[in-house]
């Protein structure tokens, strides 16, 4: 097996770089041939994954968090959102949020991560593809593995990603959500799922879930399966600030499903648009904030193969 270890040096306040010697040691013990590539700027991970595929690398081990893994997954779609071939992936967790790994019950231990890399067969995982509105008003295509949401989640990401993360993922995202809730106003939107209107009115947040967790440990979609070819769509509708704060304890436990003003459905394609065109409804995409509504999302079944 030929492995390329892809490291984000800033993920988890440098956790990836600190773990690199142990990762390489464990790979050598396992008999895997490994080299290292380091991201230097936004977009590097996708470029490095494409280069690895062109060079015949068997597996790219992504050392980082949800953001780094999301960047790596951009290598599997083209500018039009069509799937392109790429190498197998593996995950060595070293980031702030770590939500994608929670769906599979993965620990942060290096030895366990390397054992999965060398011994687990690659598993097809669905890839979400979103066409959205970039900050400059252009339309762009982005892929995601875990959860895309819009509303409070997008504003929370903007706050978290411009704040220190030394408190850890769960605390950073919780405090970010509280700060966001103080200024966020429920935005009226129209959401359709498989061409049927799902929500039409003010929302606190809507999540398109491939994985189960987001926001540093919130169990937003308890029944989501990243390999079933569909999104679990969860809408938190016109909740007040107090109701939203009280709802948080349910979301961390996954007990919000069935609560008043929480709606759920499943589907393969989703569209969302603001009912007031001037409203800026920000998008959270695997912990990043790439733009705003309107969006169109769809599932590529088995779009990536991950040793997990």
Share above pLDDT 90 across residues of the chain, in percent, rounded to a whole number: 73
For 255-266, the pLDDT digits (tens) are: 999 999 999 999
Q: Verify that 10 and 108 share a domain, yes or no.
A: yes
Q: What's residue 162's pLDDT?
A: 59
Q: Verify that 165 and 294 share a domain, yes or no.
A: yes
Do you know the residue count of the chain? 308
Q: Verify that 293 and 151 share a domain, yes or no.
A: yes
Q: Verify that 98 and 231 share a domain, yes or no.
A: no
Q: What's residue 267's pLDDT?
A: 98
For 236-252, the pLDDT digits (tens) are: 999 998 898 899 889 99
Round the average pLDDT of the chain to a whole number and report it: 91
**Parent domain of 285:** 127-307
Nearest one of 209, 197, 204, 202 to 177, comparing CA atoms: 204
Across the strands, what pairs with 88?
Answer: 59
Nearest one of 173, 192, 180 to 281, comparing CA atoms: 180
Q: Verify that 133 and 221 share a domain, yes or no.
A: yes
What is the domain-level CATH number for residue 38?
3.40.50.10330
What is the domain-level CATH number for residue 192?
2.60.200.40
pTM across the whole model = 0.91
- Would you state the structure tokens that stand for residue 197, as one six-digit string? 């209107």
On the question of pLDDT at 168 being above 60, the answer is no
Work out the angle at residue 277's Cα, subtended by the Cα atoms of residues 287 and 220, and round it to the nearest 5 degrees.
30
Q: What's residue 21's pLDDT?
A: 94
Average pLDDT over residues 195-208: 97
The Cα 141–Cα 201 span in angstroms is 26
The Cα 202–Cα 16 span in angstroms is 40
| 285-303: b (≥16 Cβ within 10 Å) or e | bbbbbbbbbbbbbbbbeeb
8 A C-beta contact, residue 254 and residue 219: yes
Token look-up 């953001």 returns 67
Task: Show which of 104, 120, 136 is a domain's final residue.
Answer: 120
As for how many domains the chain has, the answer is 2
The Cα 49–Cα 306 span in angstroms is 13
The pLDDT confidence band at residue 93, using thresholds 50, 70 and 90, is confident
Q: Verify that 240 and 279 share a domain, yes or no.
A: yes
For 28-75, the pLDDT digits (tens) are: 999 999 999 999 988 899 999 999 999 999 999 999 888 899 999 999
Query: Which of 153-157, 233-237, 251-255 has the least mean pLDDT?
Result: 153-157
């Amino acid at each position: 097996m030929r492995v390329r270890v892809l490291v984000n040096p800033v993920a988890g306040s440098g956790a990836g770089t600190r773990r690199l010697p142990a990762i390489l040691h464990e790979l050598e013990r396992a008999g895997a041939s490994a080299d290292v590539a380091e991201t230097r700027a936004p977009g590097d991970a996708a470029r490095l994954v494409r280069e690895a595929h062109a060079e015949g690398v068997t597996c790219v081990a992504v050392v980082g968090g949800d953001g780094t893994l999301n960047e790596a997954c951009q290598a599997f779609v083209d500018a039009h959102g069509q799937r392109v071939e790429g190498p197998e992936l593996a995950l060595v967790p070293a980031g702030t949020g770590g939500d994608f790994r929670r769906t599979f019950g993965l620990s942060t231990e290096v030895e366990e991560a390397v054992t999965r890399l060398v011994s687990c067969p690659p598993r097809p995982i669905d890839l979400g593809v979103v066409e959205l509105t970039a900050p400059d008003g252009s339309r762009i295509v982005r892929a995601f593995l875990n959860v895309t949401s819009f509303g409070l989640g997008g504003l929370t990401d903007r706050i978290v990603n411009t704040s220190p993360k030394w408190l850890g993922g769960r605390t950073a995202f919780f405090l970010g959500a509280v700060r966001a809730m103080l200024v966020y106003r429920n935005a009226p939107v129209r959401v359709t799922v498989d061409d049927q209107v799902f929500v039409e009115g003010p929302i606190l947040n809507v999540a398109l879930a491939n994985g189960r967790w987001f926001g540093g440990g919130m169990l937003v979609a308890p029944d989501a399966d990243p390999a079933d070819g569909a999104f679990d769509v969860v809408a938190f509708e016109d909740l007040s600030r107090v109701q939203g704060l009280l709802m948080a304890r349910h979301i961390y436990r996954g007990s919000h499903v069935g609560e008043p003003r929480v709606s759920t459905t499943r589907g393969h394609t989703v569209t969302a648009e603001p009912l007031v065109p001037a409203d800026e409804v920000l998008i959270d995409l695997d912990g990043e904030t790439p733009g705003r509504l309107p969006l169109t999302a769809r599932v590529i079944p088995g779009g990536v193969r991950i040793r997990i």
